[in-house]
Amino acid sequence: MEASTKIPRIVHYCWFGRGAKPSKMEKCIRSWKKHLAGYQFMEWNEENFDLAANRYVMEAYEAKKYAFVSDYVRLHALYEHGGIYMDTDVEVIKTLDPFLKHEAFSGFEDETFLQSGTMGAARQHPWIQELLEDYDSRSFIRPDGTYDLTTNTAVITAICKNHGLILNGHLQVLQNGVVFYPRDYFSPYDYINGGNYKTDNSYTIHHFAQSWLPLHVRVRGDVKRVVSRLVGPQIIARMRKLLSSS
């Protein structure tokens, strides 16, 4: 590793469930290899991760909620090896080398939440350790038998807020050395209202496949994206606000 870099050139990603990889995922992975020359790519799956290592992970896996399995495994990978984690529906559009100088980094999904589709850290960084240890006392199955579908972005945002993170979507550096970038760097697509905030600052695009959601919800998201291109995300946001208040 170069003296000026703290994060190793390793890209981690998860693929649990032993299913065939969809074409959209393969397309995203090809973009990684195109723009990340010299990086090592590590796929995490049932063959190289002990699912019994954590109760939350085992319960999520047995429920076939693989996206929630990856919520834990991404942290495990970053803590044990260091590097950059990316969701399999993340497209890379230029090299991530500028971020290797940080001790750890992530970015905003919007002004309210952080994103976790692209995040990086040096090996055994205390921020990753804290996020990982949060799972020690958690269970994916609630006492009433329902699933805890709390997103990892909500959990990570809450923990970082306790460390002084201001939820304004602006560039910030916390005392633990973690750098958070504005949404256009790693997550320019607004999957809620269908807006596209891609700029010259954009390095990755998270396409939000949302594989853990029912098919009809994912189809609705695709429709919303098309409609947003026609009328604009602001109109979509107003429509959602009116519907929720009626």
Residue 225 vs residues 43, 196, 208, 228: alpha-carbon distances, Å? 30, 9, 11, 5
pLDDT at 236: 41
217 has a pLDDT exceeding 50: no
Q: Average pLDDT of 4-8?
A: 92
Q: Average pLDDT of 53-76?
A: 97
Residue 175 vs residues 61, 62, 178, 184: alpha-carbon distances, Å? 35, 38, 7, 23
Q: What domains can you pick out in the chain, each with its CATH number?
A: 10-212 (3.90.550), 213-246 (no CATH)
Tell me the pLDDT band of 238, cut-offs 50, 70 and 90. low
pLDDT at 113: 96
Q: Average pLDDT of 174-194?
A: 91
Under DSSP, is residue 40 helix (H, G, I), strand (E, B) or coil? strand
Q: Average pLDDT of 127-148?
A: 97
Do the Cβ atoms of 119 and 204 come closer than 8 Å? Answer: no
Q: Average pLDDT of 77-92?
A: 98
Cα separation, 129 vs 125, in Å, equals: 6
Tell me the pLDDT band of 195, cut-offs 50, 70 and 90. confident
The rounded percent of the chain whose pLDDT value lies above 90 is 78
pLDDT at 96: 98
51 compared with 239, residue with greater pLDDT: 51
Under DSSP, is residue 83 helix (H, G, I), strand (E, B) or coil? strand
Do the Cβ atoms of 68 and 60 come closer than 8 Å? Answer: yes
Tell me the pLDDT band of 225, cut-offs 50, 70 and 90. low
Q: Two tokens at 241?
A: 């606000």
Tens digits of residue pLDDT in 25-34: 999 999 999 9
pLDDT at 193: 66
* Torsional class of 105: left (φ above 0), alpha (ψ -120 to 50), beta (otherwise): beta
- Please provide residue 91's backbone torsions phi and psi, each rounded to the nearest 5 degrees: -100, 130
Give the pTM.
0.85
Q: Average pLDDT of 190-214?
A: 80
Helices (H) and strands (E) in the chain, counts: 8, 9
- Please provide residue 89's backbone torsions phi and psi, each rounded to the nearest 5 degrees: -105, 25
Residues 6 or more apart whose Cβ sits within 8 Å of residue 64:
17
| Alpha helices by DSSP H, the chain | 23-35, 55-62, 66-81, 126-133, 152-162, 183-186, 215-231, 233-245
242 has a pLDDT exceeding 90: no
pLDDT at 209: 77
pLDDT at 190: 87
Q: Average pLDDT of 90-114?
A: 97
Do the Cβ atoms of 96 and 172 come closer than 8 Å? Answer: no
